[in-house]
Chains A and B, each alone.
Chain A
């Protein structure tokens, strides 16, 4: 019999029972809760007079709607304010730990889970948000769910699930210097397509993935959902353990020793079989810039915007044409001729300390170009912000002409006041370049933090390695 994949191991360890229809009742170790997808779940509990099954497994924070400027003023939009207040009330009345808006530990759910050690290797982690795949970087099974499932987990600590197929994405060899996790994952998405991972759980492996820091692995797993897969994961190694060790929610003393020996098993067996294997040569990966309205529409910064006329598939050709029209780009123009109006460094993809360091390294001693209307840096959590300030990164950004903001989702989805105006173009470190994602009519180019900072100082996209 073939060995087990990491996914098999995680799945089997959480099986409560197999249902008659072939689905599995799966145990959930951790649920992260935010203000947008939880209110009706809490109301459902109340209506049915139910209590959370294990209240201590839930951790909540507001992130989507919080302002990134002066928090003393509160939230001006009444709908946003009501969602955040409702989260506060629900957490208080059900006894759920919440990092409120004024707590230094507040931040984007997918940043604070790992930061607190609330995301641990071997766990099942869920949240009412599709980028929950982020937590798979720790050798965990993590995926996004809908509001009725949020309620289901609160009430039963379980979910009814069908097992996915397994895919191995191996990024072999080493990346060139200056290539980031964001470039790797955009290259992977362009290889397998935005629907290529549908129905699969993806394990990322290979030398280039092992060489990534935990922050980098989180960036890769975060965008698994943009390849259509609900879950992405990376095997546990010493980097994982080093990252987790000593964090507030991490196991202590004897339990730590016991956990570490169990976590050493969290990798696919050498003879495990996957339903699909994709291999990518790390050395071929270039800094990426998306040109269209789907994350798979990406090219190397040194390339040109593709020409729909050269595409033989009529459906694709039409999609490309529509994307170029929306983005206001000409076929075959050089990517380095594209000039953003705004720059956004943030989101659950790229707002961790390492991301900010990478951007600051580029910004240091340079100035944001005069043609850039706004360049903003939004740390992923209050603690990331604190650390960045301790390292002096905030000064570097401010001196270079960036705005240094309070933590939250911000312009990733423009639910708060941070947004693009119609027609505005943005170099963004977020994860979705869909039409209107960053504001109605806004045009998003997805890039790495270093590439976003480079675009800010150059006034156009540029290979960060070419900056003098």
Chain B
């Protein structure tokens, strides 16, 4: 997993509450054998005027000009600004995979669905819960100012706005440690690689047949 330090990124506003995982990545894409490549189908039903299918080339599809991510000013956005209960629905990890593949590393909202929130951390995305009034203020500023950026400093647990405003945010200590060091579950277990090898040495003495080559 990629380490997360400080992100200075363009903000894209998605002004809807209860955005569910089906909206983030529609069902038909869950049959895929991949965990990457979902970026072009992120928010597929809102982003395009036609129906998307897995394996189809997305480059020639008619874009919905009203959808926010299609506006030139939000290209290359890395921070998604959202409304309450973002990510409700399925437990599948395709939703964070799609956001990550598109390029988002941070989602800011007044609230998230539980499983989605957990799945974000597992996949290197930082979900930040902020007071609804602050989220609202960001929505106003980002729509007013082209090229609006926020600086997210995970170590300091602060967001800095262009006007110099500093907003603190909460993140669980262990999750912060994992993101800062780029540790996924596997990375964490591999920190105990010596223990695993020591176990294998002991086990080879007790049960050598488990190490026979077939």
Contacts and interface: CB of A to CB of B under 8 A. Distances in A.
Contact of A40 (B33, B189, B200, B213): B33
B34 to A, nearest CB: 6
Interface string B189-214: 11011011001100100111110111
Interface string A227-256: 000000000000000000000110110011
A83 interface: yes
Contact of A156 (B1, B189, B203, B213): B189
Given A25-B189, A156-B196, A158-B196, A97 B214 contact: yes
A311 B207 CA distance: 53
Contacts of A76: none
A124 to B, nearest CB: 10
Interface string A16-59: 11000000010101000000000110011001101001001000
B196 A157 contact: yes
A255 B203 CA distance: 13
Contacts of B93: 148
B195 A17 contact: yes
A152 B33 contact: no
B186 interface: yes
Chain B's interface: helix, strand, loop or mixed, by majority? helix
Contacts of A463: none
Contact of B195 (A25, A151, A152, A248): A25
Given A16-B192, A40-B34, A43-B34, A48 B186 contact: yes
B33 A83 contact: yes
Contacts of B189: 25, 152, 155-156, 158, 160
A123 interface: yes
A151 B185 CA distance: 10
B195 A156 contact: no
A152 B189 CA distance: 9
B196 A27 contact: yes
Contacts of A390: none
B176 interface: no
B31 interface: yes
A390 B92 CA distance: 45
B186 A151 contact: yes
B212 A251 contact: yes
B213 A258 contact: no
A276 B31 CA distance: 40
A39 B213 CA distance: 25
A264 to B, nearest CB: 13
Contacts of B122: 148
Chain B interface residue number, banded: 20 to 34
Contact of A25 (B35, B184, B192, B206): B192
A259 B196 contact: no
A248 B214 CA distance: 7
A270 interface: no
Interface string B162-202: 00000000000000000000001111011011011001100
Nearest to B34: A43
A145 to B, nearest CB: 12
A39 B207 contact: no
Contact of A255 (B195, B200, B209): B209
A86 interface: yes
A79 interface: yes
Contacts of A122: 207
Interface string B90-127: 00010000000000000000000000000000100000
A283 interface: no
Contacts of A120: 209-210
A86 B31 CA distance: 13
B36 interface: yes
Contacts of A40: 33-35
Interface of A: 13, 16-17, 25, 27, 29, 39-40, 43-44, 47-48, 50, 53, 56, 79, 82-83, 86, 97, 118, 120, 122-123, 148, 151-152, 155-158, 160, 248-249, 251-252, 255-256, 258-259, 262
Interface of B: 1, 31, 33-36, 93, 122, 184-187, 189-190, 192-193, 195-196, 199-200, 203, 206-210, 212-214
7 contacts: A27-B203, A48-B186, A86-B33, A120-B209, A255-B208, A255-B209, A259-B209
6 pairs of A and B residues whose beta carbons are closest in the complex:
A251-B209, A39-B33, A255-B209, A156-B189, A16-B199, A40-B35
